Structure 1
Amino acid sequence: MEAQEKLDTIMHEVIIDNTHHKHVFSNNIESIGIYKKSMKKAIKAIGNHLKERNTPFTGNSISTIKKKIDNIHLEENKKGKSLDYVLDELKDIYLDDCIHFHNPKYIAHLNCPILTPTLVAEAFISSLNSSMDTYDQSTGGTFIELKLVDWTIDKLGYPENADGIFTSGGTQSNMMGLLLARDHYIKKHYAIDPKMDGIPAEASKFRILCSEVSHFSLKKNLSLLGLGQNAVVPVAVDPDFKMNVSALKKVIQQQKDLGNIPIAIVGTAGTTDFGSIDPLAEIASVANENDIWFHVDAAYGGGLLISNLYKEKLDGIELSDSVTIDYHKTFYQPVSSSGFFMRDKSFVDYIKYHSDYLNSKEQEDEGIPNMVKKSIQTTRRFDALKLWFTLRMIGTEGLSSYMEKAIANAQFTADLLRNRDDFEIIHKPEISAVVFRYTPFTGNENSYCEINSYIRKAIFNEGKAIITSTKVYNEVFLKFTLLNPLTTPKDIEEVIDLIVYHGNEYSLKN
């Protein structure tokens, strides 16, 4: 009786004060009305913000931005605020200073401007909140993702027996490639099941070979996989920062002579700094000769697969055992949207697990496509829908033209800098990254490092453009990552003028 009275009291309070419950999205008329009004206000706020800002950043300091957030006390009003209040607040603490990747003078990191069809898709993804782990949480979404997996497999040139899954990003996709490489080797050479028994003692001798300019996620992932960062063996690159195949062969033999066990080679199709693409076909041949796994990190360069002009740059990718592709880079998708692909679907066994409430063996026997078995995630967003909208509304020809324009911009930049006496460019751009430094005087390497570090910081703090810097053999260089098809040669020239301006400013101060 007492329990019933407590329940009645709780329900009475819910009925009297349903202020918060109106925000629970449902199919009733009031909820749909609130959703429409809220989305309209949000879109208006975003639109107004985009019209007000014509620079990629405001230049406000870290302390100024942090102080705005610090001054907010989340518990000050337990009843909550109105949407209008929160949007006004958001303008002050986030919108006013947020980085604009879509600005044509944002040419820093691998952040692409996004396509309008993907924003439409995001409304469906968030509002309906499908989870892609099982069919009974996603239904048609499962088959949309599978269709896009098959589409990508076809572009890769993989056999019909290949498979894949959407992931959160390149780091996760690379982890899956290394996980499969590790367990594939163990299953072939040891009488244990790594899923059940763990890794053998000899795993301390496992080695992964990659170019010396490969992505940091390889070391990070090998640490997580229990092999340690020292399992990564860097291979020398040629003057264009591509893996040197002769050096690769020597390193493999050296590792064997040391008693170590090379289990995989990672080729990079688009290094983060240089956009360099390793000689994939030659590496595949070396991997085949040594009977070891070949993974390709094409997080950056994957977009070349749909370009009639440049797809041959990825020749040999079809010979790999697994591939990483980030759609949220050169396919112009919002974060996050990535994919992992394997040439043989039987490799799924290395990561497959059954849970009676998700993907029981009975369901698998019935042919129900529960994709949790292919993923190291359980709950996953329906990120594939963004790519679906893009391909249906823009098509591969339109989509590839954006990347092709970015490559043209990189070639323009390289030619421009090469013909100037006050700049040094150290590679021939393969995709859309250009690494260079400002060298207005005859000086030592330290002075060049100092002036280029100053330039990068000064440009960011000014806010008119955003570029980035990197280190090449411990020396500071500037870097453009050109992904925006709306960036023009005039924009590039104006950013170079900013570099010269701040370089002169540094010289006057020193």
Structure 2
Amino acid sequence: MAPFEKWFLSSSKESLENYEAMIGGMTEMIKRHYHELKSPYTHIDVDELSNLVNRSVYFSEYEQPLEDLFDDVQAVVLDHSLHISHPGAMAHLHCPPIIPALAAEVMISALNQSMDSWDQSPAATYIEDQVIDELTKQIGYRSSSSGVFTSGGTQSNYMGLLLARNEYCHAAFSIDVSEEGLPLQAKKLRIFCSEKAHFTVRQSAAQLGLGMNAVVSVKCNERHEMDIENLEEAIREVKAQGNLPFAVVATAGTTDFGSVDPLFEISELAKKEGLWLHADAAYGGALLFSHKYRERLKALERADSITMDFHKWFYQPVSCGAFLLKNSAMFKHIQLHADYLNPEEDEHVHLVDRSIQTTKRFDALKLWLTFRAVGTNEYGKMVDHTIETAKQTAEHLRKQRNITVLNDPYMNAVVFRYVPDTLYVDCQKQQHYENKLNQLIQQHLYEKGTFIMAKTKHKEQAYLKLTMLNPMITVDTVATQLEEVVALGKELEKKEERLRERSVIG
């Protein structure tokens, strides 16, 4: 046997047996754990968890028995992770991974393709290219479009604004930013997005050297969508100040409400004003496959660039996203050729020519296997089912005496709050009390481990949020879990009453 052969995949018996022992052992451990799983989370005190990690996580000098490794993984990782595949976990845009994609991850890790140059990933390069082509067809882009898989929405939003900035500087100032750097006028460049847009718009502006002050926040309407009249007014004001509008970001699925900005109206205004339109469909891109709600992405194809996250509503393991571009020629703004990697004269497809990443995973395999195994028809039913479940849940909540629902679910997010019977004369004190109460409800239920919700704020008021991505969630189960919210709210109110009584007596 060659030295070290058991530790690497090869044709040898020792290699394949060790691979089977490691992968098979992990698979059996996961199967056992999920067979016995009763709740999404088992709480442990932070100090206790830290001590457990300190005892188990170290570099051993010599080979350790697999049984010891598996015991530590079970005790440290499986026993104390948040299990998002459990229907009780519905806090964030954090999806249960679909089984075909989990199977794909096994092959992705074994083949370990690097998706920068063709010679490192010959089949994988063309598979990713074809999957991108399938996505652009779903969007309604023409054959001149293109795209690339990314680590997620942060990278995709950054790429959209990077290309928008460089194209504007080239057209307006005849400056190649990649070669010459930013022009003096860059401090006047402005980006528009709604007040509910993802924070990565501001983050991207900062990283692009424009500063967060370059982002103009546009007020939303009562449906939490960018208000088109407010956008028009904001553009007029920016131009009157002598500044330079160059891009607008339309959100197709806000984090809290799942709202979709008016894509058609924004695209018309962007065309009139000569603005690059980037659509952040990290959340809402799944509606492309919906049987009932696809029209909610009407005019998405008018965007110059699009963000889509598959590790949200497409049920892909983290990380898995894509950046789609209407005019593939715009990738010229990030291309740089290296003789050892992607020489300019080479005729092969090199995905590094479309990416700000060099080494990149073969994540396209996950999405391809998912749609081959499940089918777009079944997947579309999953999308619709989660929206219907969210709508029914919101309707159930509206019937509860101590609950206020903030939104009519446009996707599968429900935002609500517990409203106590306890009243303070002072309005500020009342708001502080109600906010603290809702935050405590979320925290207590998280620590109990049975019902995992998120918390958010709207107009200085604290709210609870259900992000109902999991198609295994049922209305009946959620109704039972929501009884815990009300019961806990009542219990916390009684504690507050006792504290007030003691304060008066004191």
TM class, shorter-length: over 0.9
Deviation at 1:116, TM superposition (A): 1.0
Aligned match of 1:479 in 462, 465, 468? Answer: 465
Query: How many angstroms apart in 1 are the aligned matches of 2:190 and 2:48?
Result: 46
Aligned match of 1:142 in 115, 125, 142? Answer: 125
What does residue 366 of structure 2 align with?
386
Deviation at 1:509, TM superposition (A): 1.6
Query: How many angstroms apart in 2 are the aligned matches of 1:459 and 1:64?
Result: 19
Q: Cα gap change, 1:24/1:188 in structure 2, threshold over 3 Å: closer, same or farther?
A: same
Q: Say yes or no: does 1:429 pair with 2:429.
A: no
What does residue 15 of structure 2 align with?
31
What does residue 168 of structure 1 align with?
151
Q: Say yes or no: does 1:445 pair with 2:431.
A: yes
What does residue 41 of structure 1 align with?
25
Aligned match of 2:67 in 77, 84, 109? Answer: 84
Query: How many angstroms apart in 2 are the aligned matches of 1:175 and 1:458?
Result: 37
Q: Say yes or no: does 1:229 pair with 2:215.
A: no
What does residue 489 of structure 2 align with?
503
Aligned partner of 1:506: which letter?
A: L
Aligned-residue CA RMSD (Å)? 1.3
Please give the residue correspondences for 1:347-426 in structure 2 after superposition, counting only pairs within 5 Å. Answer: 347-363=330-346, 366=347, 368-426=348-406
Deviation at 1:81, TM superposition (A): 1.4
Query: How many angstroms apart in 2 are the aligned matches of 1:73 and 1:166?
Result: 33
Deviation at 1:73, TM superposition (A): 5.9
Q: Secondary structure at the match of 2:345?
A: helix
Q: Secondary structure at the match of 2:462?
A: strand
Deviations 1:412-451 (A, max 9, x none): 1111122223111122211001111011326432221011
Contact 1:330 1:483 in 2 (8 A): yes
Query: How many angstroms apart in 2 are the aligned matches of 1:220 and 1:374?
Result: 21
Deviation at 1:142, TM superposition (A): 1.1
* Structure 1 residue runs without a partner (length 5+): 1-13
Q: Say yes or no: does 1:201 pair with 2:187.
A: no
Q: Secondary structure at the match of 2:148?
A: strand
- The runs of at least 4 consecutive aligned structure 1 residues that moved more than 4 Å come to none
Q: Say yes or no: does 1:308 pair with 2:288.
A: no
Query: How many angstroms apart in 2 are the aligned matches of 1:91 and 1:254?
Result: 58
Query: How many angstroms apart in 2 are the aligned matches of 1:73 and 1:104?
Result: 30
Deviation at 1:169, TM superposition (A): 0.5
Contact 1:133 1:371 in 2 (8 A): yes
Contact 1:243 1:279 in 2 (8 A): yes
Aligned partner of 1:466: which letter?
A: I
Q: Cα gap change, 1:70/1:355 in structure 2, threshold over 3 Å: closer, same or farther?
A: same
Contact 2:420 2:493 in 1 (8 A): no
Aligned partner of 1:484: which letter?
A: N
Q: Secondary structure at the match of 1:471?
A: strand
Q: Secondary structure at the match of 1:499?
A: helix
Contact 2:288 2:297 in 1 (8 A): yes
What does residue 502 of structure 2 align with?
none
What percent identity do the matched residue pairs reach?
39
Contact 1:61 1:461 in 2 (8 A): no
Query: How many angstroms apart in 2 are the aligned matches of 1:385 and 1:236?
Result: 40
Contact 2:147 2:322 in 1 (8 A): yes
Aligned match of 1:177 in 134, 140, 160? Answer: 160
Q: Say yes or no: does 1:321 pair with 2:310.
A: no
Query: How many angstroms apart in 2 are the aligned matches of 1:329 and 1:372?
Result: 25
Aligned partner of 1:61: which letter?
A: D
Q: Say yes or no: does 1:335 pair with 2:325.
A: no
Query: How many angstroms apart in 1 are the aligned matches of 2:123 and 2:57?
Result: 42
Deviation at 1:455, TM superposition (A): 0.3
Aligned partner of 2:398: which letter?
A: R
Aligned match of 1:454 in 437, 440, 443? Answer: 440
TM-score, scaled to structure 1: 0.94
Count of residues in correspondence between the two structures:
490
Query: How many angstroms apart in 1 are the aligned matches of 2:265 and 2:11?
Result: 57
Deviation at 1:27, TM superposition (A): 2.9
Aligned partner of 2:259: which letter?
A: S
Aligned partner of 1:209: which letter?
A: F
Query: How many angstroms apart in 1 are the aligned matches of 2:256 and 2:422?
Result: 26
Deviations 1:446-470 (A, max 9, x none): 2210110110000001001100100
Deviation at 1:38, TM superposition (A): 1.7
Deviation at 1:71, TM superposition (A): 2.3
Q: Secondary structure at the match of 2:336?
A: coil
Please, which moves more after superposition, 28-37 or 333-342? 28-37
Aligned match of 1:66 in 50, 68, 83? Answer: 50
Contact 1:323 1:340 in 2 (8 A): yes
Aligned match of 1:263 in 221, 246, 255? Answer: 246
Deviation at 1:134, TM superposition (A): 1.2
Q: Say yes or no: does 1:123 pair with 2:106.
A: yes
* Structure 2 residue runs without a partner (length 5+): 424-429, 497-506
Q: Cα gap change, 1:137/1:73 in structure 2, threshold over 3 Å: closer, same or farther?
A: closer
